[in-house]
Chains A and B, each alone.
Chain A
């Protein structure tokens, strides 16, 4: 419905464009820029809402109200926070590596924006349905680690460095089970394109065929986005704030934004791969997608406000000795079933 409307708009603009005699390439470029802006706005809005939701959910988990003062039931709290963060002084430590330190918060945002390109928000609401969608997502999300390494190293602070090291070792070990858990879905769907995977779930969600894969994905994804109980890189009680110890103001906000955006993205991918994406009866497709993503986000929040934190070596053990073997078994069984 929405996609149809957008498409008809685009068609008419296109026709007018051709009539004017300007090469279509320029239209494509303008379209790409506009889409980028739209996606950026989506990210920012989603993160603002997510911070509010997180605080409210946390509040109710802890039998308190959460933010209540700014606006009705604290609805304007995220905006107040954003204003606060913008106003903060931007501090760069004297002995920090200035350029790397400054660049890191922007690099961390690159994968966020790039991943959004292949996510189907609704029926035909997808920017570019790459036929290597999932591979693309995992490839691009690896860049986030580089940003964290940059930030941790350039801060010239031992806590930051420890946080960065933890982050890297964690992501390296959880990337494998994550990819393996998703491969089961790829085998079932017979395609790596995100749109194709959603189409393949028209009859039944993949969570039914891949319960183990879903669980592994959930754990590994939680670890990938550094949420409790895997939030070691920024475990404030242990290493102050990990890689973003020295960051303040907008630079910190960028890290923060990227972290929440990553959480959102991980939930969206989970909803797409295992929960049937945007498909659902009655309601418009983006709403269904949002509901499923919300459910995933809620699970992550639930984790955070219930569990203590793992220790580094326990985390590694869990990744390599539990998740990885199970992911292999899952993959093997799926492949055998599909062949037979």
Chain B
């Protein structure tokens, strides 16, 4: 025990923290076997990147947990102060690389708000389309990895098969598959009409689009077809997971997150909706054209009832279906027009401060931007949803088993670069 303690002390937990843990009221000593410390990560198959959880265990039961983050800290806040507004944009892709379009969207909107830049409506539509596509891609990563963590390997590959289509779509659009750098101040970089895949007919795993088409498949056709077909694929995932008794056993009734706790910890996104609170920033803040989208499609944010892993899972599954509807609606109603407004090459933002937030796949992704009137931000604070979502983990996993830790952590959908920034 002493050895373990020393070793863990050497690697970052402070003395205070350790004594705080050891002073916690413990269970009755009668049936308690010897407790021991265990390290999960930073290199562990299911910590999704480099997270380290220091667990205090009693057999397989977790008594306490201290998450250690910062392994991916790259100082994105500091970097913003050293780069101009334009230069900083590509860095944002690295904040949450699974949903880079959405982080870009947030930053671009924050700067536009502060600099008073108007955005053409067509560009807003395109932004929503790519955002929702990226949300589906992000949820697919979550679903695949969650099922992988629970031991089901096949759904993981199914999910990535569909994600591949989205990646291809983005590649057609901006040439990148992960870090897009696609959005611009005052619009987007390229029009979706210009996005064409010359390798026609394009066949994506059964989705045959525009067979024999001469100029290849264009983005609109393929994205629309994808939005049509994807709900069937979600049915497939549900067939292999939702209707599986073992999966249900592993997810239902595990990792309760009561609503007041979630609010107190600042948990956002599908996690808080799983706790029964329809708090969707797309709907609440009505940024971009989301008000129209919600009115047009009549979608209501899905909510869970109990706040266990199962509810969070169901919420995300439903969100994927909803996103498809949104994409279809946007593609149906997209107006013609310019995709970018005139923005000076050297952008100087007026003095002031603002907070802009969006509904990222993991929750509230916010940017607090302070400008001093120069071409560089004076202070830029990224509020990553994973940071707050992860901080509630110790609360949630106390008293559960290691196997449940995997399910709970998986259901929270934490992305470490987003957490460490």
Task: Give the docked Cα–Cα distance between A321 and B401 (Å).
Answer: 21
Q: Which of A17-72 contact B (CB under 8 A)?
A: 58, 61-64
Task: Give the docked Cα–Cα distance between A235 and B153 (Å).
Answer: 12
B152 contacts A240, CB within 8 Å? no
A298 within 8 A of B: no
A238 contacts B246, CB within 8 Å? no
Q: Which of A158, A237, A307, A310 contacts B148 (CB 8 A)?
A: A237
Partner-binding segment picked from B122-130, B154-162, B264-272: B154-162
Find the B residue at minimum CB distance from A231: B151
Q: Within 8 Å CB of A162, what residues of B?
A: 60, 402
Q: Within 8 Å CB of B46, what residues of A?
A: 237-238
Task: Give the docked Cα–Cα distance between A63 and B155 (Å).
Answer: 11
A-B contact count (CB 8 A): 79
B154 contacts A62, CB within 8 Å? yes
B263 within 8 A of A: no
B36 contacts A311, CB within 8 Å? no
B401 contacts A313, CB within 8 Å? yes
Find the A residue at minimum CB distance from B47: A237
A146 within 8 A of B: no
A311 contacts B148, CB within 8 Å? no
- Contact digits for A233-273, partner B, Cβ 8 Å, 1 yes 0 no: 00111111000000000000000000000000000000000
What's the minimum C-beta distance from A118 to chain B, rounded to whole angstroms? Answer: 33
Q: Within 8 Å CB of A304, what residues of B?
A: 153
Find the B residue at minimum CB distance from A64: B157
Determine the interface band of chain B, counting residues with CB < 8 A from chain A. 20 to 34
What's the minimum C-beta distance from B123 to chain A, rounded to whole angstroms? Answer: 37
Q: Which of B392-406 contact A (CB under 8 A)?
A: 401-406
Query: How many residues on the A side are at the interface (Cβ–Cβ under 8 A)?
Result: 28
What's the minimum C-beta distance from B161 to chain A, rounded to whole angstroms? Answer: 6
B403 contacts A311, CB within 8 Å? yes
B150 contacts A237, CB within 8 Å? yes
Q: Within 8 Å CB of B229, what residues of A?
A: none
Task: Give the docked Cα–Cα distance between A61 and B161 (Å).
Answer: 13
B149 contacts A237, CB within 8 Å? yes
A87 within 8 A of B: no
B147 within 8 A of A: yes
> Do A240 and B150 form a contact, CB below 8 Å, given A158-B36, A158-B38?
no
A314 contacts B249, CB within 8 Å? yes
Task: Give the docked Cα–Cα distance between A307 and B153 (Å).
Answer: 8
Q: Which one of A58, A63, A64 has the greatest number of beta carbons of chain B within 10 Å?
A: A63
B45 contacts A240, CB within 8 Å? yes
A312 within 8 A of B: yes
Task: Give the docked Cα–Cα distance between A62 and B45 (Å).
Answer: 21
B247 within 8 A of A: yes
B205 within 8 A of A: yes
A308 contacts B404, CB within 8 Å? no
11 contacts between A and B (CB under 8 A): A58-B154, A62-B153, A62-B158, A63-B205, A237-B45, A238-B46, A306-B240, A307-B244, A311-B249, A311-B403, A311-B404
Task: Give the interface of B toward A (CB within 8 A).
Answer: 36, 38, 44-46, 60, 147-154, 157-158, 161, 205, 240-241, 244, 246-247, 249-250, 401-406
- Nearest 3 pairs of A and B residues by beta carbon: A309-B151, A62-B157, A308-B152
